Structure 1
Amino acid sequence: MSVINQMLRDLEQRKQPEQTVEQPQFHAPEPSPWRQRVLIIIVLALLAAAGYWWFGVVSPAHQATSMKQTVPAEPVAPPAESRLLEALDAVEREAEHNAEPETVQKAQPSEQQAEATSELKAEPKQSETLAAAEPSAVVGANAQPAELSAQPEPTSKSTAVAIPAEPTVPAVATAPVVEPAAEPEPIASPAKIVKAPSKAQISHSPMSEQQVVQLQLNEARAFAANGRQGDAEATYRKLLKRDPKLVTARMELVALLTQQRQEGRALKVVDEGLRYLPTNAQLVTLKAQLLLSLGRADDAWKVLQVVNESQVQETGFFVIKAGLASQRNEFDVAYRNYSILAVREPNQGRWWLGKAISAEQTGHVMDAVEGYRRALTSTGLSAGSMRYAQHRLDLLGTQSHGEN
């Protein structure tokens, strides 16, 4: 049995090496300590770059924005309605601005301390090592004192970071200095503010009565010149209704109606004017002329008697009266009126002829001879009138020689 057992043991020992083949074991490679260090350095470099960007770019810009002072700009003409309100706001801003620099300088160190504290709590311990290795770069990037960068990280969460209550000398030195703003220009008193006109204003000066009359008179004349007789008559009547004593407008209306062969209506217009101006020589002469055109010579003669000859300047008045006096054989009146006409218009031969005839009828032979002679040397006589004047001159000359 012992032999058998020995053999069995031998067989088992022979089989055991074949069965117990060493299986390959795979073990994870142990990380190299240098690789971990390189990764840590890269992470710290990224954190340092982020801190540099934050404290070098974002934080100064934020501080400059918060400490930004309002400098009064050049006064621009604001709307007229809000100028007074802006003036009051400018006074309040000036009062707030004068008290602002000291407050900003006192509050600046505390803001930097708070940022430094939050950065120390957020960065791992390796950042302190990197900051210790390169102090100049960290100080230049963060603009913080060296004492804050060298402080050890707290070992536990319950450990409080000791931060001085008062800012250190470097922190105060690196804080931006706020320059006091220049004093704004004195603001005009609200009483002196001149309100700008919102829109262009056009002043309309009232027209005088004479200008209105002349305007309507020109309008009526334009209508008459363009053949618009109805519009012209309406404008003239409107003008006369405004002022019945306008002799010029009344005479032009009479002329307009006479051109239309409406002497009766024209005579009514003249009579309306004579109610306001009964001794006006122009209206009296015009009425006498209208009456003559209607064949009413006696009425025309009566109309002329109203006016005193010494107060008349109208030549037509003397012409009509002298002619009517000759027709009525009132040679004294004719001689007087022809004499006036001969003085006013000495080149008109008909006035001298009328004077000579009137003088001959009244027995003024010398005046008659002189009148006939002047009539022959003047203008405006027809051939028949000149033959008559020459005949009368020869006859009166012969008689005068016979008497002598």
Structure 2
Amino acid sequence: MSIINKVLKDLDKRHQQSGSSGYQGSAVAPRRRSPIGTKLVVLLLFSIVVLALVFMSDEIGFGSDSTRANENSSEPQSVAEQPLNPQPLATTQQQPSDSQQPAEEDSAKPFELPEQIDTAAIARAKEANPVKAKVERTEPEADRQQNTKTTNDKGSFTKRSVNLSAAEIAERALRKARDAQSRGLFSDASDYFSDALDAKPDLHEARKEWAALEYGRGQLNKGLSILRDGLEAFPNAHSLRLLAASMLDKRGEAGSAKQLLMQRQPDPNEFKQYYQFMAELGQKLNDTALMSSSYRALVKVEPDKGRWHLGLALALRDTDPQAALRYFERAAQLVGNQATLEFIAQQIQQLRSQHETPTP
């Protein structure tokens, strides 16, 4: 508008100057222009100005779009964070209403991203970036937690190892000993058995397993020494005494085994295997007194077992034939094996024939 007004004022000033010159009359009056020519000139200038303004507005709009496109391509993160439909751009330059309408229509349209930018990719990047950032933030924290947990676990393990009771230490060592023995690591198993008994010496089953391990390795003396150490600390540990006597018997020392068993004798109702082994030792040693005492104890524990009655009858056959005959007859009633029954019948016949009184 300012350019058009300036042109119109310039034309009016020239027109006024030409008019004032005519009133003076000292010079030849210039030739006046026709109104039609003046209007054509004004219309031509107006058209040129309008075209220039339109061209300038297009240049400004294209430049802003190119600038925004370059910024978007160089910084995809910032574009992704901006809304896809920003507010219309406002222009501060005043323009004629007729020529400003195309520019206002262009600026009123929603801002469209250039075709070279993939809006879907930007949206995916916007969604993926927070996840990535979250992962990057949480990974160090997870590492710190893991390190703290490892440190705490190590600390708690150390603290717990200090506070372990003797029974717990022995149990762990015993478990390791059995595991090593199952894998054929006999030396390691022997060490673990020793650790278990050092922590809890009254583990008689563990002591027997250790002694049996040494016996199986050919270390009979070491096995007996392990059992004797237990008997010194626990004289009533009859299972240790029985195992030691069995080892002595297998080594051909039945007499030593008998002496070891006679030192302490448990209740037959609680440990009948102890008396059964003593009875077997009596047969090997031909010790009828040991046999009879052992079988009597077994008969009291299991009166309906024919094997004990037969053993007692054999023990009493030479020293008390009448009592032996009664026990043979009782064994015949309880034994079901045919060969054993035939043997019992022969013994009964012999005893009866020996003690029959001759007729005159």
Q: TM-score, normalised by structure 2?
A: 0.52
Work out which of the residue numbers 264, 275, 286 in structure 1 matches 2:232: 275
RMSD: 4.9
2:206 equivalent among 246, 249, 259:
249
- 1-side partners of 2:218 and 2:302: how far apart? 31
Match of 2:172 in 1: 212
Contact 1:219 1:235 in 2 (8 A): no
CA distance in 1, matches of 2:212, 2:107: 108
Correspondence for 1:391: 346
8 Å CA contact retained: 2:307, 2:331: no
Give the match for residue 181 of structure 2. 221
Sort the Cα spacing of 1:260 and 1:316 in 2 relative to 1 into closer, same or farther, 3 A: farther
Counterpart residue number, 1:40: 49
Aligned to 1:341: 298
Alignment of 1:4-43 (within 5 A): 33=41, 37-43=46-52
Instruction: Give the match's secondary structure for 1:309.
Output: coil
Aligned equivalents of 1:265 and 1:399: distance in 2? 52
Query: What CA distance in whole angstroms lies between the structure 2 residues aligned with 1:245 and 1:312?
Result: 23
Distance 1:244 1:142, change over 3 A: closer
The count of residues paired between Structure 1 and Structure 2 equals: 254
- Taking a change above 3 Å as real, the CA distance of residues 141 and 274 of structure 1, as seen in their structure-2 partners, is same
- Higher helix residue share: 2
Cα distance in 2, alignment partners of residues 290 and 234 from structure 1: 22
8 Å CA contact 1:322, 1:334 repeated in 2: yes
> Hey, what's the Cα distance between the residues in 2 that align with 1:380 and 1:280?
37
- 1:42 shift after superposition: 1.2
Q: Structure 2: state its 5+ residue gaps.
A: 1-39, 68-89, 109-140
Shift of 1:338: 0.8
Cα pair distance change 1:209/1:375, threshold 3 Å: farther
1:299 aligns to what? Answer: 256
Alignment partner of 2:223 out of 261, 266, 291: 266
* Identity of matched residues, %: 18
Equivalent residue, structure 1, for 2:328: 371
The answer to whether the 8 A contact 1:335-1:359 is kept is yes
The letter for the 1-side match of 2:347 is R
Q: In structure 2, do the counterparts of structure 1 residues 391 and 43 end up closer, same or farther at CA, with 3 Å as the change threshold?
A: same
1:282: Cα distance to partner?
0.8
Q: Which has the larger radius of gyration?
A: 1
Distance 2:97 2:347 in 1: 153
Task: Give the corresponding residue for 1:316.
Answer: 273
- What's the TM-score, normalizing by structure 1? 0.47
Q: Which has the higher contact order (CA 8 A, sep 6+)?
A: 1
Structure 1 unpaired stretches of 5+: 1-31, 59-111, 121-127, 144-195
**Cα deviations across residues 272-298 of structure 1 (Å, max 9, x unaligned)?**
221222221111112222333344444
Distance in 2 (alpha carbons) for counterparts of 1:262 and 1:386? 43
CA separation of 1:221 and 1:292: change in aligned 2, threshold 3 A: same
SS at match of 1:317: helix
Which deviations, in whole Å up to 9, do the C-alpha atoms of 1:148-175 show, x marking residues without a partner? xxxxxxxxxxxxxxxxxxxxxxxxxxxx
- Look up the equivalent residue of 1:321 and give its one-letter code: M
Query: Which whole-Å CA distance do the structure 2 matches of 1:141 and 1:388 have between them?
Result: 129
Deviation at 1:43, TM superposition (A): 0.5
Distance 1:138 1:290 in 2: 115
Structure 2 CA distance for aligned equivalents of residues 197 and 276 of structure 1 = 55
